[in-house]
Structure 1
Amino acid sequence: LAIFADDKRYWKIFEPVICELDRRGFGVTYLTASPDDPALQSNIKSMKCEFIGDGNRAFGKMNFLKATMVLSTTPGLDVYQWKRSKDVQWYVHMMHGMSEIAAYHMFGIDFYDALMLSGAYQERDVRNLERIRGLPKKEIELIGIPYMDCMMTRIREAGPVEPHERTVLLAPSWGKSSVFGHFGGRIIALLLETGYHIIVRPHPQSFTSEKEMIDTLMAEYPESAQLEWNRDTDNFEVQRRSDIMISDFSSIVLEYALGFDKPVICMDTEFDIGPYDAWWLDTPFWTDTALPRIGRILTEENLPKLKALIDESIDDASFTSSRHQVREETWVYPGAGAARAADYLVRKFKALTELDKREEAQSC
């Protein structure tokens, strides 16, 4: 079994599954496109880890890989630079977020053999796409979300947060449709007017693609006793010590609301489904149905009343039950994700190798 990660940030997605496979004595080869991937420093005994180059060099190596199975969270197999190798029998996709599989760019998962998913609505969308496009049915295994299971364990082990002043975490995504793309620095100014402690955590991509804007905002609103700019590699602590998150169309909203069970405020944004698999479907875009159920919506009209919106969101428990409903829809088998993923991978690997043995015996 080979595992391909096109970026180091996906180590947290794979690590729980690899640890479970290691516990069973099942070896894997981890192929990463990041020279500083934490996996390279891991001491997991049954895992061999290799940096295979970045960008197209990594895809070039994957295109000629020899392996029984490949597990990856990278969409676009056999669509973009990454092609199916003739020497790989089976490709398995595991999601790296907790929402839409139809939010991948078009044809993102069409040429995988199997998918490990976390909710029935995802399976519905996959089957509809297969029917519309005339694709063979993939194997689908509902496993849950292994990395979220790990986060829940961390939350329990960390214990309750010490008493603190009310703290707001502003965690925008990047691009024109983000919080900063819509409101710019106005939202930071309004947050400072609340008197609450403010943590601003831009998307990592913003420091590359929107560097000029971020530099301007950081100069206009410098760090102080009230305001901090956060770039921690691990976002666990800033989520843990905040009382509410303000964000936009980002998977971090769901992780925060459903993992930490805390209120969120989501910016009202129109998500253009044109480039994505969702465009082909006439079923509801699940995230559009989920966001209004986990928190209040921030608009241009209610932005001036941001403090009241924050206070109402924190003090009103009416969203608690609907958050739990959303969690049930997108996170099946909580606590069992890694075990269920390992069950499928081991079972499938054994079936493929047994098939190889039978075919080899018949050819003799």
Structure 2
Amino acid sequence: MTILLEHAVAIPYVGLYLDPGTGSLLFSLIAGVVTTVFYSAKGLYYKLSGSAKGAVGTAERSVLDTWSVVIYSEGARYYGTFKPLLAQLAKARIKTLYLTSDSNDPGLTAHADLTTCFIGDGHKAWALLGRIKADVCISTTPGLDVMQFKRSKQVKHYMHLVHAPTDKAFNRPYSFDYFDSVVINGPHQERTLRFLENLRGSKPKQLIMGGCLYYDDLVNQLRNLTPERVSPVKTVLLAPTWGRNGLLSLHGSKFLHRLTQQDINLIIRPHPQSLVSEPALIQELQALFPGNLRLEWDFSPIPFEAMAKSDVMISDISGVIFDYAFLFEKPVITVGIEPVREGTEASDLPYDPWELTVLNDIGLRLTEQDIDRLTDYLPTLTQDERFKRNIRALRAEYVVNFGCAVQPIMKAIKPLIEDHANVTQPFAALERRAE
């Protein structure tokens, strides 16, 4: 059942992307309080009146039912992370509600046995999330109880899914402090989260060594992948992060000009958040470098196809470089920038974040000027088996349950569900497969 609440309330709000830790603090606090009060009053009205006026009220009351599991997604780009988990929750007949802030999220229609709902974005979404009732709420959204994403008093347990194999040190401060549990990918993430707990004296969280969920689906896609035709001209995938540490923000047209002068096919894939947070930059670069036979702009929600048909990736400090390396065992060129640490968890660490320590193992680190000689480096990168061996060793050590993360994560969810005894058989089957 799919519920749409995009017209649930006519409150003026700024229609921009607002994730926890961004935007004006004063505006966020005031708007959040006002919206929460409105929703609370509205809910009290429905409760006292005993009936909702029209379909919207009925839909909202359904969303605010009591659930075993509530999953919140910020949008379609995170559906790949939740997809394996949603499928298993449906198979186990667990009462699950999938909430998303993206009306185009495929999760709204892909799981007929689950209730799904588009709840809009901004303060409207945060206010509704503050009123849900569930045994466990699962999300990839950081910053619980830091700004807009507030804990509901009627949710017993909040679980964060780390959706990249980096150690997340470049997240904003307190991104994970107030979750009850965090599903991690490997020992490097455990090290950072435990260090920050000790530094701040915060309550230790349950750390679930589950793995990276979206690899489950991508590994299945890899098994069915038709090999690309080998071309004498190498295809380079440029996939930078967004914001102040991103290549396009730092070097923009100058960097793209250097790339387009090379004898390569170039796929430019901006980070999906760039389209939201820095659209003017992307539009300007598209106008300066329009698509042609040798240049392609890729805005698809999933980078799988672009990864598959490229020979090497160029990026910065972004989780996508490890997706590329671990899934396709292809090398990565990282441009030698020093990421800005101020205002991130990394500024509190006495050691370099994990992702900075392994860049030479998965490929080459080049300067911006080195890009002028990119084609000189490509034969070494694509033919040296050392990089493939390094990638396999890193994946084995730092990405637990590669391609089969859903089983241990479901096993961790089981004791958090109040009526888990009713779903023993489906869970037992999952546990046998995990063994």
Q: What TM-score comes out, normalization by structure 1 length?
A: 0.90
Q: Which moved more, 1:127-136 or 1:254-263?
A: 127-136
User: What is the alpha-carbon distance in structure 1 between the residues aligned to residue 419 and residue 200 of structure 2?
Assistant: 28
Report the counterpart of residue 300 of structure 1 in structure 2.
368
Change (3 A) 1:161 1:150: same
Report the counterpart of residue 361 of structure 1 in structure 2.
none
Report the counterpart of residue 335 of structure 2 in structure 1.
267
Report the counterpart of residue 96 of structure 1 in structure 2.
163
| 3-state SS in 2 of match to 1:320 | helix
Unaligned runs of 5+ in 1: 355-364
Query: Is the counterpart of residue 178 in structure 1 residue 246 in structure 2?
Result: yes
- Which of 417, 420, 424 is matched with 1:349 structurally? 417
1:31-42 → structure 2 map (5 Å cutoff): 31-42=99-110
Report the counterpart of residue 11 of structure 1 in structure 2.
79
* Structure 1 counterpart of 2:129, one-letter code: M
User: What is the alpha-carbon distance in structure 2 between the residues aligned to residue 61 and residue 147 of structure 1?
Assistant: 26
Given that 2:77 and 2:272 are in contact with CA atoms closer than 8 Å, whether structure 1 keeps it comes out as: no
Identity of aligned residues (%): 33
- Which of 74, 89, 93 is matched with 2:141 structurally? 74
Unaligned runs of 5+ in 2: 1-68, 423-435
Cα displacement (A) at 1:350 = 4.2
Report the counterpart of residue 128 of structure 2 in structure 1.
61
Given that 1:19 and 1:44 are in contact with CA atoms closer than 8 Å, whether structure 2 keeps it comes out as: no
Cα displacement (A) at 1:244 = 0.7
* Structure 2 counterpart of 1:214, one-letter code: I
Query: Is the counterpart of residue 222 in structure 1 residue 285 in structure 2?
Result: no
Q: Which moved more, 1:252-261 or 1:302-311?
A: 302-311
Query: Is the counterpart of residue 324 in structure 1 residue 406 in structure 2?
Result: no
Cα displacement (A) at 1:208 = 4.3
| 3-state SS in 2 of match to 1:122 | helix
* Structure 2 counterpart of 1:266, one-letter code: T
Query: Is the counterpart of residue 147 in structure 1 residue 214 in structure 2?
Result: yes
Change (3 A) 1:231 1:93: same
Render the CA deviation track for 1:324-362: whole Å, top value 9, x for unaligned.
2221233111232011111111232248999xxxxxxxx
User: What is the alpha-carbon distance in structure 2 between the residues aligned to residue 29 and residue 304 of structure 1?
Assistant: 51
Render the CA deviation track for 1:271-300: whole Å, top value 9, x for unaligned.
122212232222331111122221101203
Change (3 A) 1:82 1:123: same
Change (3 A) 1:69 1:216: closer
Report the counterpart of residue 273 of structure 2 in structure 1.
205
Report the counterpart of residue 156 of structure 1 in structure 2.
223
Cα displacement (A) at 1:267 = 1.1
| 3-state SS in 2 of match to 1:82 | coil
Change (3 A) 1:314 1:283: same
Query: Is the counterpart of residue 126 in structure 1 residue 193 in structure 2?
Result: yes
RMSD (Å) for aligned C-alpha atoms: 2.1
Report the counterpart of residue 85 of structure 1 in structure 2.
152
User: What is the alpha-carbon distance in structure 1 between the residues aligned to residue 395 and residue 409 of structure 2?
Assistant: 19
Number of matched pairs: 353
Report the counterpart of residue 118 of structure 2 in structure 1.
51
Given that 2:272 and 2:301 are in contact with CA atoms closer than 8 Å, whether structure 1 keeps it comes out as: no
User: What is the alpha-carbon distance in structure 2 between the residues aligned to residue 21 and residue 207 of structure 1?
Assistant: 32
Report the counterpart of residue 247 of structure 1 in structure 2.
315
Q: What TM-score comes out, normalization by structure 2 length?
A: 0.76
- Which of 248, 254, 257 is matched with 2:325 structurally? 257
